[in-house]
Every structure is written in structure tokens, then in C-alpha cells.
Structure 1
């Protein structure tokens, strides 16, 4: 049974990112062997997903129920945001954070089962995709499709509150009648405490350096993936144009061959018509002479 674009897309978007291009090339070759150039061109235009997008596709295909449960929080979050229900929003946000983190861990396990790995930076990108799906229904639909190709993120503050909405009052917090005084700090800090503070300061500094380095790495990988996707799109467009030129060249050569054949037929027909005209004239002359001799007899 011939492949369809849906069959091929299902296969491609479950393949590991490093297998995507060779798998797509094989599918293009199969379509050409089947004589379906339109399908071959459609397959060639399918874009390789980023690593984080591939993880989202794994969740959509292999953990659809859990993903649907996560994305179903979007409506409740939107309602809480629109009504400015702080208590509900805090509770839902906490639940969202737990579920997003759990889904990211599950995606990491699925990647391992598929023979790949997912580092912390990629899992954070996946969490950004899931957060964007909770904030934007269009992104949620892309995630559910299992054919996401890009790493998306959401940096807004959720849906705007409805006009005239009154914020929900915060829940009362009971405070003690008297706040106990803080214990006085020791006058002199011993050497061990100073060393711990220095280690903590160094740890904090290195943590900032690590965060900055990972952010730079993530940005660089985004640029690389974006440029690679653009290269693939340009290559697919070039292949389409080259195939179109090849098709047009073949059609032109066929038309030229037909023109040569028709031209030869026309020349032969013209020669035959000319010969027929000469023969007709000669026959007419002979008939006239015969008629004249007959008339001489009276």
C-alpha cells in the first residue's frame, strides 16, 4: 500500500532527531519510486524538530492521557486569572509546576527508551513548551498533534482580567500577638563558620556562572537548530526547483521531438501534394489533347 503524508509524518516525528533527515530522505526516495512526486515534495518539506520539540512529540504519542490532563489545567488557570482569584491561582500554579516537572521527567525516560538522552537544559526547554501550551491554545494544539518542530516558550502573565472584575480577598492569616525578638548574633564568627560562608559564597558564584553558561549554550543551540531548519527548508526548496526544471526540460524535449516529427510529416505531405498537383496538371493536359483529337473527327 503506498505511503501517505500522514504515515510518513507519524514515522518521522517519532524518530530521534539525529535519524530524522536520513529517515526523511528514505521516505522521499520511496515516494519517487512509487511515482508520486507530489508526495515526495511534501515529505521533503517536513522540518526536523528541535530536541525539546521531539520530547513533546513523544509525550503526545506515548503519554497522550497524561498530557491531556496537564493541558486541561489551562481553562482553570485562565478562569482564576480572569477573576483574579489569588488563592485558586496559587494552588493551580503549584499543581501546574508539579505536573510540568513530572511530564518532563517522563519525557526524559521516553527518550532513554528510544536510545537517546535529554540533558537538564533540554528538559527545561520542554517545560517551557508545556508552559506555553497551558497559556496559548494554539500552542496546545501543536503539542497535541505530535508534530511540533519548534521550541516555544511563554513569557506573559496569562489572560487579562475581565473588565470590572474585583480581586478575590486574600485568605486571613493569623499573626501572633507579639513577635519574639531575634536572638543576638554571636559577636565573633569562628573560623569554621567563616569557611562555610566562603564555600557558600563560592557555590553561589559558580551556580550563577553555570546558569549563565547553560543559558548561553541553550541560545546557541536554538540558533543552530533554527539555522539548520532554515538550511533544510532551503535545500528542500532547491530540490523542488531542480526537479521542476528537470520535469520542464523533459517536457520541452518531448515537445521538440513532437515538433520534429510533425515537421517531417508536414514536409512529406507538402511534397506529396506538390507531386499530386503536377500529376493532376499532366492528366488534365492529356485529357485536353484527347478531347481535341476526338472533336476533329466530327
Structure 2
């Protein structure tokens, strides 16, 4: 059978429009809205679009909050994400003062954005618990740490909860800061004669070794994060499937309950009609018996009257014969 679905480019455009709408609704309404969009695409004969819409994943509550920020507070979100380059440079160069200053500002902005997301959720009629707001903190931190996550957040179509702990705690508190630029234009002091017991070279070697250890540790943690995110993605996919199955089961249960209620009402109405019919039958039986008794009495009375009349007729007939 030939496939009359729309071309791939048209499907992508239509899917983008539908996705923008779906990821703007509260998570509890996502499955129903997605199913309605799938049904609408099928009714139009666009099977390819219907299949693509059906693959859209339900967002977590925290991901939905991030989507609200991308949709309704994009300028503030960009202001937060603008800290990412500076944080990355400070962490890479181990510039302790800059890292502390930027980290403090990051914490303030992330907390403010989370509060704003909570207000947006309240306005949308789906308030967010404190635990969900903490998950949003993790998403925003992850967006600051990884550009690809920042793009997902900017898209307003995030589906999963992400987290990242790479800022601050991963930096050795004893590390020596490497300034990115000279702090003064004054000429450098004249070098003092080198003394054999000065440990400059040893310090440089130790610092390089420390940096290498930190980088190796960061790479290891990045690998752990990637593995954990893959595991989370699989778990989220299973959750979506299980929630869809649950929604279908709940709908089937509600339909069954509705049908049971209808049948129960019909049964009660039938029983009421039975009781009314039984009462009518008893009344009719009583009336029939009373009528039978009345007939018997009337028949006896008629028989006696008939006998008296016949007796009189006989006497009259006998009198006429004597004359």
C-alpha cells in the first residue's frame, strides 16, 4: 500500500509545532494531549506525523518547570546561562577568587529562577513541591556546565531531569590559582639570585601533577555521569511506557465502573418495577377473589329467585287447569 504521508520536512515542521504545544501543558495532561494530537493526525491521514507525535516523551515535573522558564522567562534564563563561559574558565584555570565569585552569583540566580518557575507553575494550576524545585536547581546547574544541555533547556522541550556537580566541589581547595591576565601594569620585580634550596620547579611539577589528577578525576566523573544519564534515559522511557499503560488501565477501570453503575441502576429500576408488578398482581388477585365471591353470592340469589318464580308459575298453571 503506498504511503501518502507528508514529506519529511513537512512532518518536522508540523512535529515542532505540536511539540511546542505539548511541552507547554502540565505533565499530568501530557499523555491525553499527545493522544489527542496523534488521533488528529491520523484523522487527517498523516500517519508519519502521528507516529512521530506518539514518540514524544512525557516530561518530568522538573523538566516542565525548565520549559516554563524557556517559554516565559527566556531573557532571565539567558542571563543565567551567560555565566557558563566564565565558570568554565575559572574552573579550568583554578582561579579560586573568580570561581567563588561566579559560583555565588550562580547560586543566587539559580535560586531566583527556581522561585520564578514555582510561580509560573502556580499560575498554570500545577504547583511544584520543594523537591521538584531542587531538581530544577540540578537542571540549571547542568545547563551551566554542558552546552548541549543548555540548548535542550533553551528549546523549551526538555523531557528529563538532569543534574551536575562539577562546579566548586570538584576543585581542589588547596590548588594554586592560575590568573588569566596580569593584575597590574607595573614592571615585574628584578629576579633574585636563584638559591639551590628554592622549590620552584618542584612546585610547578606538583601543580601540574595536581592539575592532571583533577582532570583525570573530572573525566572519570564525566564518564560516570554519561552512564548514569543513559541509565536514567532508559528508566524514563520505561516510566513513560508504564505510565501510558497505567493511564489506559485507569481509563478501562473507570469505564468498567461507569458501566457497573449503569447496570446497577438498571437492575434497581427493574427490581422496583418487579415490586410494583408484584403489588399490582396481589391487588388484582384480591380483587379477582372478591369478584368470584360476589358472583357466587349473586348466582345463589338468582337460583333461589328462579326457583321461587318457577314454583309460582307451576301453581298458576295448576290453577288454570282446575277451571
TM-score past 0.5 threshold: yes
Match 1:229 to one of 208, 233, 240: 240
Select 2:32's aligned residue among 22, 38, 41.
Answer: 22
Whole-angstrom distance in 2 between the partners of 1:108 and 1:21: 22
2:129 aligned residue: 119
CA drift at 1:83: 1.5
Q: Determine the structure 2 residue equivalent to 1:130.
A: 140
Single out whichever of 37-46 and 83-92 deviates more from structure 2: 83-92
| Contact map agreement 1:135 1:158 (CA 8 A) in 2 | no
Q: Give CA deviations for 1:178-221 in whole Å, capped at 9, x if unaligned.
A: xxxxxxxxxxxxxxxxxxxxxxxxxxxxxxxxxxxxxxxxxxxx
**Aligned-CA RMSD value:** 3.0
Superposition deviation, residue 67 in structure 1: 0.4
Q: 1:108 aligns with which of 118, 128, 151?
A: 118
Q: Distance in 2 between matches of 1:148 and 1:49?
A: 7
Instruction: Report if the CA contact (8 A) 2:31-2:244 is conserved.
Output: no
Q: Give every structure 1 segment of 4 or more consecutive aligned residues whose post-TM-superposition deviation is greater than 2 Å.
A: 155-161, 222-228, 230-235
> Which residue pairs with 2:158 in the alignment?
148
Structure 1 length normalisation: TM-score? 0.55
Bigger Rg over Cα: 2
Alignment correspondent of 1:40: 50
Contact 2:35 2:54 in 1 (8 A): yes
Report the number of matched residues.
180
Distance 2:237 2:128 in 1: 19
State how 1:1-298 maps to structure 2 within 5 Å. 4-157=14-167, 167-168=177-178, 227-231=238-242
SS class of match (2:164):
coil
Q: In 2, are the aligned partners of 1:82 and 1:159 still within 8 Å (CA)?
A: no
TM norm structure 2: 0.51
Give the C-alpha shift of residue 85 in structure 1. 1.0
Partner Cα separation in structure 2 for residue 14 and residue 225 of structure 1: 19
Higher relative contact order (CA 8 A, sep 6+): 1
**In 2, Cα distance between equivalents of 1:159 and 1:68:** 25
Question: Which whole-Å CA distance do the structure 1 matches of 2:48 and 2:237 have between them?
Answer: 26
Cα distance in 2 for residues equivalent to 1:155 and 1:17: 26
Contact between 1:132 and 1:152, CA under 8 Å: does it hold in 2? yes
| C-alpha contact (below 8 Å) 1:83/1:168 kept by paired residues | yes
Give the gaps of 5 or more residues in structure 2: 1-10, 180-232, 247-323
Deviation track 1:204-262 (CA, whole Å, cap 9, x = no partner) reads: xxxxxxxxxxxxxxxxxx99866422436899xxxxxxxxxxxxxxxxxxxxxxxxxxx
